[in-house]
Structure 1
Amino acid sequence: MKQLLELDTFAKTLTDKGYDGYFQTEAAYADKIKDSISRFLEACNSGMDKPILPNIMMLKTYLQWNGDDKPKVECNMWVKYEDGLFDVKKMNIERIDQYGQLLKQSKLTDLTTNSVPTRKEAIAQVTEKPKEQLSARKRGFRM
């Protein structure tokens, strides 16, 4: 059963799952998740902004960032909202190299806020497991 959550509960649920970084709501309003959504909704109420899709807002955040010269993991969430209640509908997780090229992607659909994977699980979906290293042996003849 799908369950819509009010903003405080929605933000706490995602924060408890490890999504505690900065978000952008509809490609603007960079802040912690609750503050970003609140600022976007205030802008909508004042007529300064509007959602691209009706009753759907897109949240974007980095799940892993190790600097501009290293690969990063981004997360896009499509969140349904109606009458002040929120629920995650789908999620894209992408591992991108330092040049912006997609390395690996995972698309999750038919989600609820409670079924969203934790931050570590989401990162693991797009991270290659390290290959086994052979021990470095000196090659050649011994005397």
Structure 2
Amino acid sequence: MENSHNLDTFTKILTDKGYNGYFHTQGAYPGKLKESISAYLENCHNGVESSSKPMLLLTGYLRWSGDDKPLVQCYMYVKHQSGTFDLQKMEIIKKDRFGQLLKSSELTNLSVATLPKANEAIAMVSDAPKQKVVHGKRFRF
């Protein structure tokens, strides 16, 4: 199976996997995934950016519930060559409300096919839910 996809296919697969929030490409160009990448590539073509880099950095929030809650970010490293995009690596980072690292996970040797869904990626850095101890009633005779 081919790992490189054109922009439309690449962004559709990621969006279908739940990566449907806002992203930044190369630390700028905020917008939905396709809009952000397209704006960066257009500025490269127009000479605003030096030249299109062979590896793009896409950053976005997988979970953000306000300034007073922990957040989960993702950093996707995407190989860009001849109009095709191939996901290489992803870092998932959970930070507290002060920006301190709580937990992180790095996935390497990825492709869009092997990329976990967004909720699965969040679960990788989330604490396991605490189990409640249920005291059952004993039978009385």
Do both share a fold (TM > 0.5)? yes
| Identity across the alignment (%) | 49
1:10 alignment counterpart: 10
Which whole-Å CA distance do the structure 1 matches of 2:109 and 2:50 have between them? 24
Q: 2:139 maps to which residue? A: none
Is the aligned partner of 1:78 residue 2:86? no
Counterparts of 1:111 and 1:102, CA distance in 2: 23
User: Which segments of 5 or more consecutive residues in structure 1 lack a partner in the other structure?
Assistant: 136-143
Q: Counterpart of 2:98?
A: 99
Residue 46 (1) aligns with residue 46 (2): yes
- 2:68 is matched with 69
The amino acid across from 2:10 in the alignment is F
2:120 and 2:70 map into 1 onto residues whose CA distance is: 17
Give distance in 2, aligned partners of 1:3 and 1:16.
16
CA contact (8 A) 1:26 1:51 kept: no
Quick check: 1:58–1:79 contact (8 Å CA) kept in 2?
yes
* Cα distance in 2, alignment partners of residues 2 and 107 from structure 1: 23
**Aligned residue for 1:120?**
119
Q: CA deviation at 1:2?
A: 5.0
Q: Which amino acid aligns with 2:93?
A: E
Give the Cα–Cα distance (whole angstroms) in 2 for the partners of residues 50 and 24 of structure 1: 17
Instruction: Quote how far apart the aligned CAs of 1:134 are.
Output: 5.3
Task: Count how many residue pairs are aligned between Structure 1 and Structure 2.
Answer: 134
User: 1:5 is paired with a residue of what secondary structure?
Assistant: coil
- Corresponding position: 1:32 with 2:32: yes
Deviation at 1:123, TM superposition (A): 0.3
Length-normalised TM-score, structure 1: 0.88
Which digits, 9 at most, give the CA deviation of each residue in 1:20-62, with x for residues without a partner?
A: 000100010000000100000011111111468x410000010
> How high is the TM-score relative to the length of structure 2?
0.90
Matches of 2:124 and 2:51, distance apart in 1: 29
What's the CA shift string for 1:98-122, capped at 9, x where partnerless?
A: 0000000000001011111000100
CA distance in 2, matches of 1:37, 1:44: 11
